[in-house]
Amino acid sequence: MLIVTIILGLIGLGVVVVVHELGHFAAARAMGVEVEAFSVGWGPRVAGFKRGGTEWRFSAFPVGGYCKMKGEESFRKALEEKAPELPRETGSFYGASPWRRIVIAVSGPLANVLFALVVFMMVSTIGYSYPTYPNRIVLLSEFDLGVSKQASYPADSAGLKSGDRILSVDGKRIGDFSDLLEGITLSANKPVTLKIERDGSVLEKKVTPMLNKETGGGLIGVSYWADPVVGAVGQGSAAQIAGILPGDRIVSIGGAPVRHAIEAQSILLSSKPERSAFVLDRGGKSVETNVILSWDAQGKSNLGLSFKTDVHVVDGTATLGAAIGAGFDETISTFDATMKGLGSLFMGVDLFKALSGPARITYMVGQSATEGIQRSAQGGLAVPLNFLAFLSISLFIMNLLPIPALDGGQIVMFVVEGARRRALKPLTIYRYQTIGAFFILAIFVFASIGDLFFFAAK
């Protein structure tokens, strides 16, 4: 399954990059710049054909691609000869005016935005479903989940209680726990107003989510409250050997009553027993069984059961206008979320954990695609499609950063050239791009180290 995940991840990542390069290609042709080659993938050419003056290649490593414009050879030659300026060849990239080069540079990122918009429109049209939990909460400070925790979280300071049902965050309706996570994650260090339901009464609480230094998002120290009903039992697991079945409700573990799924996990993790007595409610009948457990060095057991989730269903839009509106709304909200996530990198987060490198991105794309395949054919498509759209918007933002060697850095260079009304020297361009290349390489190495920590912990 890991191989399938990696293959699907490479394909998905490749699609987003190829879309980006197609944006450059279309703009180059429109601006009168000749495209000598367009490759799907990198490395040695495997196959291809020539059409419209462009060689279309399929290369050995199917990760992304590139768009080779006329003028690269002239640029290298000018560097070797230490020419004072680049030759203005007709149809070459550097032969085009600065504003035409700006159009070409910005069109790659814009293609990613358009791709995301179309994808979100498709998802809103077909509809989708996803597993989630109710909007009822459990305070993490009250339970031992086998990980380090604080004595008090923002939720405790704000006066929230286990069992509270969150109705809205800053006026935005909360339908399930996924909605709550979204509202809190995007509000690190920013006060929000929660409307809650407690014992039949509706209350308002102010809370300021703290910054999660591992993810860059906000957290208040709550988890979901889910009934301790078994959703699935793993083949050959301790739970299956003990005769636990999907649909069983866990009443107690080791004599301790269980009110919700988090409490069941906490009882086991706090003592890590080798044998524990489970009392189950099976269709109104009480069933007792002993579960024999083993624990690894990371504190994980072989219990092998998961709890039942709710299924949130989003119906498809009925009209094209509604699909376009939904696509725009989702694109804007994803853009906003991505910008906030980028900003959190400068707020003291653990960059090794918060910054994803190519390996982790490939894995996550592949994992979302695998999950989509495992679900129903129609609704399951939403998982990988949404992730590709999110990745595409991230690529749009990152490429427009004013970093040399990225599209944004190139645009800055062309703006300077246009303002000076004089072409930049080849050596100046080369040094500028080299600085950017080293900067990007440093980020790549740093993020890849973080990826190693990520996979080592799995």
Strands 256-257 and 305-307: unpaired
Round to whole Å and give the CA distance between 396 and 388. 12
Tell me the torsion sign for CA atoms 223, 183, 339, 152.
negative
62-84 as b/e, with b when 16 or more CB fall inside 10 Å?
Answer: bbbbbbbbbbeebbeebeeeeee
Q: Which two tokens stand for residue 409?
A: 């850095």
55 is an active site residue: no
Q: What is the largest CA-CA distance in the chain?
A: 89
CB proximity list for 182: less than 8 A, separation 6 or greater: none
Within 10 A of 12 (CB to CB), how many other CB atoms are there?
21
Helix pair angle (382-399, 320-344), 10° resolution: 60
CB distance 184 to 219 below 8 Å: yes
Q: Which two tokens stand for residue 419?
A: 């303002």
| Helix H or strand E encompassing 284 | none
Catalytic residue, candidates 21, 263, 330, 417: 21
- Tell me the CA distances in angstroms from 386 to 46, 113, 116, 320, 321, one per residue in order: 31, 13, 8, 19, 20
CB proximity list for 259: less than 8 A, separation 6 or greater: 228
Query: Which amino acid type is present at position 386?
Result: N
Q: Annotated active-site positions, please?
A: 21
